[in-house]
Amino acid sequence: MSVQELEQSVAHLSRDELSAFAKWFEEYLADKWDRQIEEDARAGRFDAAADRADKDFEAGLCTPL
């Protein structure tokens, strides 16, 4: 199914169906985001940033929230 076909299908949903679809799609995107973050963490993509944050904290460069 193409994006255009999806758009046309969504445009024809009833109010209740659109609401249910929007809720599902929001949850779907959140789950995809969570899986991407987990994959990036396992791959070490955040290690350098975490190391910098630790060094800044230990150097007293952080302020309380």
Encode pLDDT of 16-48 as tens digits. 999 999 999 999 999 999 999 999 999 999 999
Instruction: Output the pTM of the full model.
Output: 0.70
Query: What integer pLDDT is reported at residue 24 of this predicted model?
Result: 98
Predicted confidence (pLDDT) at residue 65 exceeds the cutoff of 90: no
27, with CB counted inside 10 A (0-12, 13-18, 19+), is: exposed
Instruction: Identify whether the C-beta of residue 40 lies closer than 8 Å to the C-beta of residue 32.
Output: no
